[in-house]
Amino acid sequence: APVDELIAELQSALQSRVAESTPNDKVLDEWTRSIIDQCESTLTAIDDQEPSKAAAQLAFVTELTDWYLKNIETRRQSLRKTLKRRQRRLKAELQERRLQERIESRLGRRFTAGLERVVLLLICVVLVLMVLEWTVTLSAETLFWFSVIDAAACVVFLTEFFLKLWLVEKRLSWFGRHVLIDFVPSIPIGLLTAGLASEADLLRAGRAIRFARLPRFARYIRVLRPAVRIARALGLAARGLDRLVR
């Protein structure tokens, strides 16, 4: 394409000029700060764009940033590290937008938007249930139904998670970014650990895992349960905020 050819010519000219006369640190700092600002502007500008348009813009800026880091900003200093962090954000957002585009192409835009709203609603419901469980004295029956609602929500969370994992490119990198914020909070901890005070309780309500057969593991989970639940609450809150921003 003419634009690609023009960009290639400009890059070649700039690279030749830099090879002939290496710019001083002050000039390179100004260039690098300008690229960093451009990365930030791009991340802000794509907020309301359709996935395909956002992905195209992100891919363009990411490619230029890659070239700049490889050919111009080769110094080992803080600005380069800052730019590389922005580059990682660009690549992560590019992966998310391409994933969203693939989901919409498979399931339709309306269904995808509806699924996002349902997940956000369920996140709010689970957070409310967890707050009530922490702050109000509840009966065993109420706690059981809370666990059932929590488990039902987790089915939706995990379904969405594995759907995205199936469709996304570079699954390993995506999984690494989402395992703590999406996968771990989606595990129905309330159902798996409720009633650990006695082995008889473990057999109720069709527990997903029979901890009665693993008493040592059951005791270990019981000790860690407060920390696990706090971590899960923070993960769910972060996930909800992330969806609101998107």
Percent of the chain residues topping a pLDDT of 70? 76
Residues constituting the chain: 246
Cβ burial of 183 (10 Å; 0-12, 13-18, 19+) is: middle
pTM of the model: 0.73
* 3-class DSSP state of 175: helix
Tokens read off for 84: 């590389």
DSSP 37-65: HHHHHHHHHTTTS-HHHHHHHHHHHHHHH
| pLDDT tens readout for residues 180-202 | 878 887 877 656 655 544 443 43
* 3-class DSSP state of 173: helix
Cα-only R_g, the chain: 24
Amino acid found at 174: W
| pLDDT tens readout for residues 77-126 | 899 999 999 999 999 999 999 999 999 999 999 998 888 888 888 888 88
| pLDDT tens readout for residues 144-180 | 888 888 889 889 989 999 999 999 999 999 999 988 8
DSSP 5-46: HHHHHHHHHHHHHHHHSPPPHHHHHHHHHHHHHHHHHHHHHT
What's the pLDDT score for residue 21? 83
What's the pLDDT score for residue 73? 87
